[in-house]
Amino acid sequence: MDAVTPSLEVAGLAFAYPDGHQALFGVDLRIARGERVALLGPNGAGKTTLVLHLNGILTGGAGTVTVAGLPVGKRHMAEIRRKVGIVFQDPDDQLFMPTVREDVAFGPAASGLRGPELEARVRTALEQVGMEAFADRPPHHLSFGQRRRVAVATVLAMEPEILVLDEPSSNLDPASRRELADILRSLDVTVLMVTHDLPYALELCPRALVLSEGVIAADGRTGELLADDALMREHRLELPFGFDPRSVTMGA
């Protein structure tokens, strides 16, 4: 793929759930290859609904989603699912095999990897999230934070073009939260991270989008958006007590 084709392009995306509740009202955004972008917004803003459109779990509304130049739709679904790695908000939506190892192997095996190559892929992904010692355990015996880490590994094992994480830091202890940040920074992939953890967004993502009532209400440098008190108030975004985004120097 050439350097100018964006990893993700969403144009005019509107969607109503079958019960008639409209969640997205025309979302437009574009994420270049290698960018790390935070998707911020209050509860119910439509963030998860947007994420579920990125690999075609939800379809049927208006507008288009394009991943690395490929339109998301029936025609390219297998390739889209390989390119877009989604870590769901709830790890229990992601883990369904009898053991951690089988869950992490599932995606790469489905795309044709076998034998030692598959084993190596699984081991690397589990090592990246510090869960290699849990390979033979059933996912449902793990703690929530451990299941979240395994869910991240299932997606890393696919070596996706774009990594989409819905609330990745929730329920992680501070050390795991930092380790996940280190992993995300070390990977050479495009990242879209949904989060209510604003310091985490600032630490990891140079750019942020604010989704509010189903539209993109702001798009800019994360530090500038978080320092815009009026914008923050308008979209129910609140910084943790004592946190001053102006005093943070961001990592590369």
Ligand X SMILES: Nc1ncnc2c1ncn2[C@@H]1O[C@H](COP(=O)(O)OP(=O)(O)OP(=O)(O)O)[C@@H](O)[C@H]1O
Is residue 99 classed exposed, middle or buried when 0-12, 13-18 and 19+ CB atoms within 10 A define those classes? middle
170 in contact with ligand X (CB under 6 A)? no
Which residue of 5, 22, 48, 170 would you call a contact of Mg ion, by CB under 5 A?
Answer: 48
Which residue of 49, 66, 94, 222 would you call a contact of ligand X, by CB under 6 A?
Answer: 49
Task: Give rounded-to-5 percent helix, strand, coil for the chain.
Answer: 40, 25, 40
Segment lying near Mg ion (by CB under 5 A), choices 4-12, 47-55, 63-71, 217-225: 47-55
To ligand X, the closest distance from the beta carbon of 16 in angstroms equals: 8
b/e for 176-187, b at 16 or more Cβ within 10 A?
Answer: bbebbbebbeeb
Judge contact between 191 and 184, C-beta under 8 A: yes
Distance, in Å, from the CA atom of 237 to the CA atom of 252, rounded to the nearest integer, reads 25
Segment lying near Mg ion (by CB under 5 A), choices 43-51, 73-81, 132-140, 198-206: 43-51
Q: Which is nearer to Mg ion, 47 or 81 (CB)?
A: 47
Could you count the other beta carbons within 10 Å of the beta carbon of residue 120? 11
Which residue of 33, 47, 101, 149 would you call a contact of ligand X, by CB under 6 A?
Answer: 47
Q: Which is nearer to ligand X, 135 or 210 (CB)?
A: 210
Distance, in Å, from the CA atom of 177 to the CA atom of 120, rounded to the nearest integer, reads 25
Q: Which does 41 bind (CB under 5 to 8 A by kind): ligand X, Mg ion, none?
A: ligand X
Distance, in Å, from the CA atom of 49 to the CA atom of 68, rounded to the nearest integer, reads 20
212 in contact with ligand X (CB under 6 A)? no
To ligand X, the closest distance from the beta carbon of 10 in angstroms equals: 14
Q: Which does 45 bind (CB under 5 to 8 A by kind): Mg ion, ligand X, none?
A: ligand X
Among residues 169, 99, 93, 160, the alpha carbon closest in space to that of 134 is found at 99
Q: Which is nearer to Mg ion, 23 or 31 (CB)?
A: 23
Judge contact between 151 and 130, C-beta under 8 A: no
Which residue of 46, 85, 160, 245 would you call a contact of ligand X, by CB under 6 A?
Answer: 46
Segment lying near ligand X (by CB under 6 A), choices 3-11, 41-49, 92-100, 154-162: 41-49
Binding residues (CB under 6 A) for ligand X: these are 17, 19, 21, 23, 41, 43-49
Binding site for Mg ion (CB under 5 A): 47-48
